[in-house]
């Protein structure tokens, strides 16, 4: 009997030790955007891939949200652990400016990865060739209080223009495209990864220009605001625009609450690059994940887990 009891106790101890040694996956609530938007689709693919490949380490739960500003508020309240946001909006939150003016800075989150550029696309009628020529014109600058509106104000400022120099209209991207086609506005600011659905649809039956940002004005913007990225919208992206168009962009950036462990964020960002091919197979934006651009346009502190990964790769 004593031997039997001793054997049972030994078995119980073995199972107990096994249970103690087993690590559970970190469950992270991932705030994205509307279900029809790029943030939601791209993040959904990331979650599916990493949940499969790193099932013993991470368990990402994607949530549809109101995008950048709402996502940062969710991080601050503890309703999200990870989020994808525009890097200019994260800067405003961290500094308590522009979109977050009037409130205390939100510093309870940090940067993980800049994923892909969201270009400031300035659509204009064919007779408008430059940003300077927007003076006196009817211009949609995006929804009131949106990140797009602030981008428009900053870009016009680089050209010594203000909203007082144009006739401001606040419309969504789709409404801006319709208004441009109908002739009620002369130009519109659209901030999104290209090709943008509303612009692609407009391009099927309306001829327009994309206004370029030259190097000098881009440098001024980058000097004044640490979050702008300078690149090119390739010719042929939209039917009426044959040539490459130099433009500034903000970066779609993944951020995390400071409460998320270093190990969890390290596994997350490492997984993005280890399984880039799988992510790209599920969403075209996966192809734009790059170690160098991953650390571009970040003007807030890095999460320790991300910092550890990028230092190992020699890009920080």
The pLDDT, as a whole number, for residue 291 is 96
Ordered DSSP codes for 176-223:
HHHHHHHTS-SEEEEEESSSPHHHHHHHTT---EE----HHHHHHHHH
pLDDT digits (tens, 9 = 90+) for 55-67: 999 999 999 998 8
What pLDDT is attached to residue 22? Answer: 46
Q: The whole model's pTM is what?
A: 0.82
In the chain, what are the domains?
27-115+252-313 (3.40.190.10), 119-250 (3.40.190.10)
**pLDDT over threshold 50, residue 20:** no
Quick one: pLDDT at residue 23? 54
Of the two residues 105 and 11, the one the predictor is more confident about is: 105
pLDDT band at 6 (very low <50, low <70, confident <90, very high): very low
In tens, the pLDDT along 186-215 reads 999 999 888 888 899 999 999 999 999 999
Residue 3 has pLDDT above 70, yes or no: no
Instruction: Give the pLDDT band of residue 234 (cuts 50, 70, 90).
Output: very high
* pLDDT (0 to 100) of residue 144: 86
For residue 26, the cross-strand partners are 58
Closest to 155 (Cα-Cα) out of 54, 225, 97: 225
Q: What's the pLDDT at 165?
A: 98
Average pLDDT, the chain: 92
pLDDT at 98 exceeding the cut of 70: yes
């Amino acid at each position: 009997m004593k031997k039997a009891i001793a054997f049972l106790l030994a078995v119980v101890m073995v199972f107990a030790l096994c249970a103690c040694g087993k690590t559970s996956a970190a469950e992270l609530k991932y705030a994205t955007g509307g279900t029809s938007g790029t943030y939601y689709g791209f993040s959904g693919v990331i979650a599916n891939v990493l949940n499969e490949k790193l099932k013993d380490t991470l368990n990402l739960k994607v949530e549809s949200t109101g995008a950048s500003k709402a996502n940062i508020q969710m991080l601050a309240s503890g309703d999200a652990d990870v989020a994808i946001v525009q890097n200019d909006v994260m800067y405003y939150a961290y500094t308590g400016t522009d979109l977050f003016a009037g409130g205390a800075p939100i510093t309870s989150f940090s940067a993980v990865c800049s994923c892909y550029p969201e270009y400031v696309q300035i659509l204009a009628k064919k007779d408008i060739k430059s940003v300077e020529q927007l003076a006196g014109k009817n211009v949609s600058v995006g929804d009131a209080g949106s990140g797009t509106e602030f981008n428009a104000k900053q870009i016009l400022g680089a050209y010594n223009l203000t909203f007082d120099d144009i006739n401001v209209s606040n419309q969504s991207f789709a409404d801006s495209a319709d208004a441009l086609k109908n002739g009620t506005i002369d130009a519109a600011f659209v901030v999104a990864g290209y090709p943008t659905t509303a612009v692609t649809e407009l391009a099927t039956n309306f001829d327009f220009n994309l206004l370029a940002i030259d190097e000098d004005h881009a440098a001024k913007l980058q000097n004044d605001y640490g979050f702008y990225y300078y690149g090119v919208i390739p010719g042929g992206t939209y039917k009426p625009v044959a040539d490459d168009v130099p433009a500034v962009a903000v970066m779609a950036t993944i951020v995390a609450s400071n409460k998320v462990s270093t190990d969890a964020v390290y596994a997350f960002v490492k997984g993005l690059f280890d399984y880039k091919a799988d992510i790209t197979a599920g969403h075209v934006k996966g192809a734009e994940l790059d170690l160098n651009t991953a650390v571009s346009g970040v003007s807030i502190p890095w999460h320790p887990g991300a910092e550890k990964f990028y230092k190992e790769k020699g890009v920080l």
